[in-house]
Each structure stands twice: as C-alpha cells, then as structure tokens.
Copies of this chain bind each other. A is one copy, B any other.
Amino acid sequence: MKMHNPPHPGEVLKELCIEPLNLTVTEAAKALGVSRKTLSAILNGRAGISPEMAIRLGKAFDTSAESWLNQQMQYDLWQAEQVVGNIEVKRLSAA
C-alpha cells in the first residue's frame, strides 16, 4: 500500500547535495540566487520546493528539476492524504 512517510525534499537536498560538497547554507543560497532564509526554510522542512526552486537546484547540482518536484509532489500528496484522506467523494468512474 505504499504507506511510508516520504522524506521532505529538504532533507534529501541537505544530505545528498549540501553536506557532501561541504557547502555552507550561506554559500549555497548565494549560488542558487535565493536568500539564506529561503534555503534554510527548505533544508529544515519549513518550506517546499517550488517549480522555480527546482529549476535552480537542477542547474546548480546538474540534476533534473523533475526529480526535485517529484519528491515534493510525493511529500505533498502524503501530507494531504493524512489530513483529507477520508473525504467522501461520489464515484463517477463507472457511470
């Protein structure tokens, strides 16, 4: 049922990109062209990765923007399901 809590993309960013390269948050933020606050918020799970941010990450770390947005999507979806997973919706498929 794929019920595992997806990690926040910020964690992944930190562990797979920032730390391995020994980058400081300040440096990375400058390189990415965003404020230190913005990057910090992402790294600490207090903000999501926007499409624009995904593009920046893709360019900076030579990865695909999609991969970042995909992680964010998985995370957002899981969060939404925790909150609103029980809503009642009428089945329209088998009309």
What residue in chain B is nearest A28 (Cβ atoms)? B92
User: Taking A88-B33, A92-B28 as contacts, is the C-beta distance between A73 and B81 under 8 angstroms?
Assistant: no
In contact, A84 and B52 (Cβ under 8 angstroms):
yes
Looking at the assembled complex, report how far the CB atom of A47 sits from the nearest CB atom of chain B, in whole angstroms: 16
Interface size on A, residues (CB 8 A): 42
Q: Is A14 an interface residue (CB 8 A)?
A: no
Residue among B23, B56, B69, B87 making CB contact with A87, cutoff 8 Å: B56
Please state the number of chain copies in the assembly: 2
In contact, B77 and A69 (Cβ under 8 angstroms):
yes
In contact, A76 and B51 (Cβ under 8 angstroms):
yes
Bound-state Cα–Cα, A47 to B89, Å? 20
A interface residues, Cβ below 8 angstroms from B? 17, 21-23, 28, 30-33, 50-52, 54-56, 59-63, 65-66, 69-70, 73-74, 76-77, 79-81, 84-85, 87-95
